[in-house]
């Protein structure tokens, strides 16, 4: 095997920090929250203190601090994307997943390039501009080039005024050379979840296939970054192990990437274990995360790594999704299907990866987001202007990224409303746009109005 760099996840240090974090008082918690509002991130010791909070007043202060940091750095935009499952074939045996190799309750299928083009067309016709390509870990006869071809197919598909402008991918860990191919295919973010950073738990839930190798998985982001992919997305599958352990381990992973590459992850995902056909574990998570702890997770991550996007998928219900917008979430999926072919044929129990918590179509999700005062964004500007990796972080850290995000969110939202919005969503959306413009400073308003005007007069894909 080629040499790999395994990020040091020090379990003993994590356990010590967890014990120390329990011995805090209100004064120490408030001191951490004050430091958090400086938006420079937090140490593991600080994070452990926040994880131990249960007093309702202090929890209220934690959520308020997260809200403030979220608005300061990201403004009020929420970026939309859709997953595109190209295959549910898999040779691994992850006990929590419906796609695991020995599960006979799922009908296996790898979409052809024609089918992928058709799924893409349907997503474009809903108004999507960003796709997250997802696959099990077993490709048809052409091997990994199946993924590369699929990315090309997605980028090449057009319908009416629309096209997919950014393809992100969540596929199994790759070799350095494969990551280079992925980069050459114009990947946006490479996303991969460690599932659990706890080695003992990892061994218990991954019973077969290459995925059993913890080190190969935890070292994947190092290889992706070595290959020049500087936007990477990490995550934990919450419910497998103690969430407090996972957060501190994730912090160690992040600090390792920052130290080695000068930049941390572009996004963090917070999937919670959902029921899945043919998986007992998915219905009875070994260490379930309550709704209140889930909100704490989002708020603490927002404060600990303020510059990193937080992704909330349709695994969660509409209510939980709404609540977490304010606490730090910056990207959400909408109108998702987890069965290959799902946009063409509808949701199918015997083909999907897990059960969805939010079944609403994209238009309804957009209307809801706008009615809450957030700007639904289809922006892909940063990636296409090369503002990725360190360049993105240099803008995000001082809170400057929102000067691009807000105008871009507004211009892409207007594009959505004109080309795809229902009359009800258009009405709610126009009100949201007017309010947002009214609340902007003169410079941002002038720039946004100029961009919006271009879209209203027929230009598409307007960004700064």
Interface contacts to ligand SAM, rule CB under 6 A? 96-97, 134, 136-137, 170-172, 192-193, 195, 237, 271, 273-274, 276, 282, 315, 353-354
Within 10 A of 179 (CB to CB), how many other CB atoms are there?
Answer: 22
- Please state the closest distance from residue 223 (CB atom) to ligand SAM, in A: 14
State how beta strands 166-170 and 130-135 pair. parallel
Check if the beta carbon of residue 185 is closer than 8 Å to that of residue 148.
yes
Q: Which is nearer to ligand SAM, 44 or 331 (CB)?
A: 331
Per-residue binder mask for ligand SF4 (CB under 6 A), 119-158, x = binder: -----------------xx---------------------
Q: Which is nearer to ligand SAM, 170 or 330 (CB)?
A: 170
All residues at 6 or more sequence positions from 184 whose CB lies less than 8 Å from its CB, including other chains: none
Q: Which is nearer to ligand SAM, 146 or 354 (CB)?
A: 354
* CA dist list (Å): 462 to 425, 439, 444: 21, 21, 15
Q: Which is nearer to ligand SF4, 94 or 249 (CB)?
A: 94
Residue 100's binding partner out of ligand SAM, ligand SF4, none, with CB under 5 to 8 Å set by partner kind: ligand SF4
Q: Which is nearer to ligand SAM, 357 or 373 (CB)?
A: 357
Helix, coil or strand: residue 241: coil
- Please state the closest distance from residue 91 (CB atom) to ligand SAM, in A: 10
What stretch of H or E contains 209? none
* CA dist list (Å): 461 to 346, 405, 445: 29, 14, 19
The single residue listed with the structure tokens 């980069």 is 183
Residue 131's binding partner out of ligand SAM, ligand SF4, none, with CB under 5 to 8 Å set by partner kind: none
Q: How far apart are CA 367 and CA 334, in angstroms?
A: 11
Q: How far apart are CA 210 and CA 174, in angstroms?
A: 11
Q: Which is nearer to ligand SAM, 18 or 250 (CB)?
A: 250
Query: Angle at Cα 349 formed by Cα 343 and Cα 352, nearest 5°?
Result: 60
Task: Write out the binding residues for ligand SF4, residues 79-118 only, by CB under 6 A.
Answer: 90, 92, 94, 97, 99-100
Task: Write out the binding residues for ligand SF4, residues 251-310 only, by CB under 6 A.
Answer: none
As a whole number of Å, the CA-based R_g of the chain is 21
- Please state the closest distance from residue 32 (CB atom) to ligand SF4, in A: 35
Residue 412's binding partner out of ligand SF4, ligand SAM, none, with CB under 5 to 8 Å set by partner kind: none
Check if the beta carbon of residue 201 is closer than 8 Å to that of residue 241.
yes
Residue 21's binding partner out of ligand SF4, ligand SAM, none, with CB under 5 to 8 Å set by partner kind: none
Check if the beta carbon of residue 6 is closer than 8 Å to that of residue 219.
yes
The alpha carbon dihedral of 304, 309, 314, 317 has a sign of positive
Residue 274's binding partner out of ligand SAM, ligand SF4, none, with CB under 5 to 8 Å set by partner kind: ligand SAM
Q: Which is nearer to ligand SF4, 140 or 361 (CB)?
A: 140
Q: Is 220 in the site for ligand SF4 (CB under 6 A)?
A: no
Contact residues for ligand SF4, defined by CB under 6 A:
90, 92, 94, 97, 99-100, 136-137, 211
């Amino acid at each position: 095997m080629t040499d790999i760099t395994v990020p040091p996840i020090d379990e003993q240090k994590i356990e010590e920090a967890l014990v120390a974090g329990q011995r805090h008082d209100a004064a120490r918690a408030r001191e951490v929250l004050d430091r958090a509002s400086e938006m420079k991130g937090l140490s593991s010791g600080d994070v452990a203190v926040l994880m131990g909070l249960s007093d309702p007043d202090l929890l209220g202060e934690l959520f308020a601090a997260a809200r403030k940091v979220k608005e300061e750095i990201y403004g009020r935009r929420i970026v939309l994307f859709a997953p595109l499952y190209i295959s549910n074939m898999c040779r691994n045996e992850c006990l929590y997943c419906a796609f695991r190799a020995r599960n006979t309750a799922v009908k296996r299928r790898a979409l052809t390039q024609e089918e992928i083009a058709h799924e893409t067309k349907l997503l474009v016709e809903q108004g999507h501009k960003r796709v997250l390509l997802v696959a099990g870990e077993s490709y048809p006869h052409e091997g990994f080039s199946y993924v590369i071809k699929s990315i090309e197919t997605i980028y090449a598909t057009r319908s009416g005024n629309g096209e997919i402008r950014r393809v992100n991918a969540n596929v199994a860990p790759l070799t350095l050379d494969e990551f280079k191919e992925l980069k050459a295919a114009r990947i946006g973010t490479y996303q991969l979840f460690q599932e659990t950073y706890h080695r003992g738990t990892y061994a218990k839930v991954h019973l077969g296939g290459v995925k059993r190798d913890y080190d190969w998985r935890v070292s994947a982001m190092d290889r992706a970054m070595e290959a020049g992919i500087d936007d990477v997305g990490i995550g934990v599958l919450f419910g497998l192990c103690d969430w407090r352990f996972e957060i501190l381990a994730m912090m160690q992973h992040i600090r390792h990437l920052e130290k080695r590459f000068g930049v941390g992850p572009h996004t963090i995902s917070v999937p919670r274990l959902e029921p899945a056909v043919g998986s007992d574990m998915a219905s009875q998570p070994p260490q379930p995360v309550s709704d209140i702890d889930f909100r704490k997770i989002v708020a603490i991550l927002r404060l600990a790594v303020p510059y990193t996007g937080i992704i909330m998928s349709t695994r969660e219900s509409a209510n939980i999704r709404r609540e977490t917008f304010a606490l730090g979430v910056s990207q959400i999926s909408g109108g998702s299907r987890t069965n290959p072919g799902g946009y063409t044929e509808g949701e199918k129990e015997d083909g999907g990866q897990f059960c969805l918590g939010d079944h609403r179509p994209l238009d309804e999700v957009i209307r809801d987001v706008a009615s809450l005062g957030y700007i639904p964004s289809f922006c892909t500007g940063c990636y296409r202007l090369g503002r990725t990796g360190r360049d993105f972080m240099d803008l995000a850290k001082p809170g400057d990224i929102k000067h691009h995000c807000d105008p871009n969110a507004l211009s892409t939202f207007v594009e959505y409303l004109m080309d795809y919005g229902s009359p009800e969503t258009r009405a709610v959306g126009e009100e949201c746009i007017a309010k947002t413009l009214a609340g902007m400073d003169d410079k941002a308003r002038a720039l946004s109005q100029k961009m919006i005007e271009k879209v209203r007069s027929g230009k598409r894909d307007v960004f700064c």
